[in-house]
Structure 1
Amino acid sequence: MSLASRAFRFGVDMLAVDSGASWQRRAQHVEELGFDVLLVPDHLGIPSPWPALATAAAATERLRVGPFVLNAAFTNPTLLARDVATVDQLSHGRVELGLGTGYVKEEFESAGIEFLPAGRRVDHLGDTVARTMSLLTDPDHTPRPVQERVPLLLGGNGDRVLRMAAEHADIVGFTAARTGRDGDLEPLSADDFAERVAFARAAAGDRAGTIEWNLLMQIVEVTDDATGVAAKNIEKWELSMSPQFLDLPSILIGTAADIADRLVELRETTGISYLTVLEPVLEQFAPVIELLRGVDARAEW
């Protein structure tokens, strides 16, 4: 049974800001390449999301913008609602709000914020989501966002976060990785990832068909030598999964046509139609976007 219910959408996670003019040009280039969403992660050591997103929105026309994803422990719901509504006004309604628990212990320590056990960080995420979305949809709260409902993305991998996302979010973001105690990430196998998708879709119940399903791709390389490139990555990252590496859900290595075919199959089997890549592969991924736009143009949605 095909789970494809939406046209493809493409986001890019931008990692650096240098000058205002350069950042604006890069945002415009993202739009020109065919991406739908410009995203900024929330980690210490890289730019603050909201100023960067507001500047990108001002330099573009259709590009949607959002954090991917905000660390809920680093923000206050009342202040967050103000930031979201302000940038939504400045962008004429193009904001998407991404939230997660935060997972890098060193960043909590640098910020002077207690790194709570995973369960308590999930509790805090739930409280942040409830309060923030309540304020954003309250007609008496100011400032008011342009959108009647700012799309909410919740990202994660554990049962509680995926269940929360399935029950409350507009977009469910899969990490395709499990998080260690101190914030180290271990990629999921294809089978383990399929189990996570099945879990989330089951938790969504009747909502599954209305949710947009997202996946962050960690490695993307367009090449005629997939095996050779895979071997270099396995050596570089000191991985012990040589036979399974090319099958990892967050890895896309192959020709543009091969990658496009794999993403069509991914949508058919999981419902995932919103793909996010990292900034360094912008140019490489653009031909894949073009191919998948062609697939959607031939389909009836």
Structure 2
Amino acid sequence: MNTFRFGVNMTVPGSRAEWVDKCRKTEDLGYDVLSVADHLGMQAPFPALVLAGEATERVRLNTFVLNTPFYNPVLLARDVAGTDQFVDGRLDLGLGAGYVKAEFEAAGIPFPGAGERIDHLQRSILELRRLFADPDYQPRPAQHGGPPLLIAGWGRRLLTLAAAHADIIAFAGASANREGKLEGLADIDALAERVEFVRAALGERVGKVDFNILVQLVAITDDRQGLLERLRPYAPTLTLEQLGQLPTLLVGTAKQIAEQLRANLERFGLNYITVLEHNLETFAPVIELLR
């Protein structure tokens, strides 16, 4: 994979009109994928994506990512297939193991250990594949065999699962502790180790799977060093040089950021870049440089 794809992960709730406007802006700015996060207090992913499909013509539509332990796999299959029908086969299905303990508690769902959550994710993937392979299954997804599968995570067991099943592997860039809190952004050496681990696990599928990274911040500035100094709290144990290498923080002129992304593509195969909604317009000049 050597062609860039660019996505934005929508996280800010709003009215129907505001949502439609944001979806159209995403397409107009040149993004390839419009994603919806799955957190309480935000839009429900599937209806949001159906409306996004009505408001747009070209972009792929993605869940980034579902808290899979919230979902019964059979009921999830119905929502996935119906949504894929209604967006004319533009759906990508992003799945994760879930990590925010407070959301499980708010939903009245026990918060399992990491191993149990990954077990549920694996069962869900296998059930979706089984149902979508059944010629008698209804509703039928628009895409044969169901939507392309994105699996996001950072731990070795989850990445092993992703290497076995995913069309897109999303590197979270941070690990979560037992309480479901992210423990800081991983440095460039940690990313290199995870990428090599996944490449080995992919075997013959190397080069056939997209590698995604979720960027936490994009800052266009002529004073890169000064801004990096102010961003030290993101990764207080890193040097300024190491901080500037983080693939999850993009700081500098649009040209400098484009060069960093080209370097990350060459070294790690990171060809699919997703930014958060608050960076929707900020990142657009970088997209123009990389087309």
- TM-score > 0.5, shorter chain as reference: yes
- The partner residue of 1:257 within 242, 255, 258 is 255
The answer for the alignment partner of 1:36 in structure 2 is 32
Native 8 Å contact 1:88 1:145 kept in 2? yes
Task: Tell me which of 170, 175, 178 is aligned to 1:178.
Answer: 175
The whole-number CA distance in structure 2 between the counterparts of 1:134 and 1:58 is: 29
Conserved 8 A contact 1:231-1:242? no
2:90 pairs with 1:94: yes
- 1:240-298 deviation digits (Å, cap 9, x = unpaired): 324321122211101111111111111111111000000111111111111111xxxxx
Which deviates more from structure 2 when the two are superposed, residues 113-122 or residues 194-203? 113-122
Match of 2:153 in 1: 156
**SS of residue matched to 1:241:** coil
Where structure 2 has 5 or more consecutive residues not aligned to the other structure, the ranges are none
| 2:6 counterpart residue number | 10
Counterpart of 1:203? Answer: 201
**RMSD of aligned C-alpha atoms?**
1.2
Alpha-carbon shift at residue 87 of structure 1 (Å) = 1.2
Counterpart amino acid of 1:250? T
State the secondary structure of the residue aligned to 1:97: strand
1:79 matched residue in structure 2: 75
- Specify the SS of the correspondent of 1:96: strand
Q: For the residues of structure 1 that align with 2:151 and 2:107, how far apart are their CA atoms?
A: 23
Secondary structure of the structure 1 residue equivalent to 2:7: strand
Q: Is the 8 A contact 1:81 1:133 kept in 2?
A: no
Cα deviation 1:208-256 (Å, max 9, x = unaligned) = 1111111111111111111111122225x58332432112221110111
Tell me the equivalent position of 2:121: 125
Look up the match of 1:134.
130
Cα offsets for 1:88-133 (capped at 9, x unmatched): 1111110000001000111111111111111111111100111012
Match of 2:215 among 202, 214, 217: 217
CA contact (8 A) 1:162 1:200 kept: yes
The offset of 1:152, in angstroms, is: 0.2
Q: Who is 1:283 aligned against?
A: 281
Deviation at 1:6, TM superposition (A): 2.7
> How far, CA to CA, are the matches of 1:107 and 1:176 in structure 2?
21
- Structure 2 contact 13–41 (Cα < 8 Å) conserved: no
Matched residue type, 2:37: P
Contact 1:40–1:66 (CA under 8 A) maintained in structure 2: yes
Residues in 2 aligned to 1:17 and 1:109: alpha-carbon distance in whole angstroms = 21
Give yes or no for contact 1:58–1:91 (8 Å, CA) kept in 2.
Answer: yes
**Partner of 1:192 in structure 2?**
190
Matched letter for residue 7 of structure 1: T
> Residue 25 of structure 1: CA displacement?
1.2
- C-alpha distance in structure 1 between counterparts of 2:56 and 2:37, whole Å: 19
**Rounded Cα–Cα distance in structure 2 between residues aligned with 1:134 and 1:10:** 30
Matches within 5 A, 1:102-117: 102-117=98-113
Q: CA deviation at 1:17?
A: 2.9
TM-score by length of 1: 0.93
Distance change in 2, residues 1:134/1:6 (3 Å)? farther
- 1:103 partner amino acid: Y
SS of the equivalent of 1:283 reads coil
Aligned residue in 2 for 1:299:
none
Partner of 1:239: 236
Q: Any unmatched runs of 5+ in structure 1?
A: 294-301
